[in-house]
Amino acid sequence: MPAQTYRGKPCVCQHRLELCDQRCVADMMATTFYMACLKLTGRRCLVVGAGAVGLEKIEGLLACDASVHVIAKEVDAPVQELADAGDIELTVRPYRRGDLEGHFLAIAATSDTDVNVAVFEEAESRAMLCNVVDVPPLCSFILPAIVRSGPIAIAISGSATRMNRETVMIEIAKKRSESLVHSGLGAPTRWWPEKRRPTIRGARGDSNGRSPHRRRPRTSRSRRS
């Protein structure tokens, strides 16, 4: 969500103002982000929230072979399917302080400001990576737009505030990157592993009865925070 849309509306960040005065946007505009790629293979990652937005984040983590734990008091059917297939660990109850114990990072994908702030504050107290979707001031890391093709991944990011001009420039860069990788740069080469993960939901087949699928993140309309 563009940062300017919060102006004059109820505050959704840690400042807990009655109405947003955009002070957090000024902080984000002054922030220089350190760009990095995280190796999440086998690492336990927490997603709080199991709606459509939570599902998108879950799928992104699964695509990177993370061990995903989801906590939510209400669960959309696609997330329940992943749990039933054994692809994620699902805890059906509200988030409680202490739930971040034993996790590498946390993503809050809820529409409840109190829950989002609580997850962020616990993560900060643990010096732990945290992303609250669509609330950049409650993020110690942001998620860029991603273009993937074969072994190539291009990340495109800005200040996380998504001001109008910045959003337009990122979309232009993303389209040009997609054109570049799909024109041949991202085609499979001799060093690209021949064994690939199935991408169809509900596939079955390993010796433990778990679904082997790991869906790759979509390459269009990616959320960034």
pLDDT of residue 152: 72
Encode pLDDT of 22-42 as tens digits. Answer: 777 777 777 788 888 899 999
- Residue 175 scores a pLDDT above 90: no
pLDDT of residue 220: 41
How far, CA to CA in Å, does 99 sit from each of 3, 27, 56, 109, 172?
Answer: 29, 28, 21, 15, 39
How large a percentage of the chain has pLDDT more than 90? 40
Looking at per-residue confidence, does 62 or 156 come out higher?
A: 62
Encode pLDDT of 90-125 as tens digits. Answer: 999 999 999 999 999 999 999 898 899 899 999 999
Looking at per-residue confidence, does 161 or 178 come out higher?
A: 178
- All residues at 6 or more sequence positions from 115 whose CB lies less than 8 Å from its CB, including other chains: 48, 94, 95, 108
- All residues at 6 or more sequence positions from 122 whose CB lies less than 8 Å from its CB, including other chains: 97, 98, 99, 100, 106, 128
Looking at per-residue confidence, does 197 or 146 come out higher?
A: 146
- Residue 87 scores a pLDDT above 80: yes
> CA-to-CA distance for 225 and 217, rounded, in angstroms?
14
Encode pLDDT of 208-222 as tens digits. Answer: 444 444 554 444 444
Of the candidates 99, 109, 22, the one whose C-alpha atom is nearest the C-alpha of residue 57 is 109
Of the candidates 142, 159, 152, the one whose C-alpha atom is nearest the C-alpha of residue 223 is 142
pTM recorded for the entire structure: 0.69
Encode pLDDT of 189-204 as tens digits. Answer: 443 344 444 443 444 4
pLDDT of residue 4: 60
pLDDT of residue 40: 97
The 10 Å CB-count burial string (b at 16+, else e) for 135-148 is bbbbbebbbbbbbb
pLDDT of residue 134: 82
Contact 6, 20 (CB under 8 A): yes
pLDDT of residue 170: 57
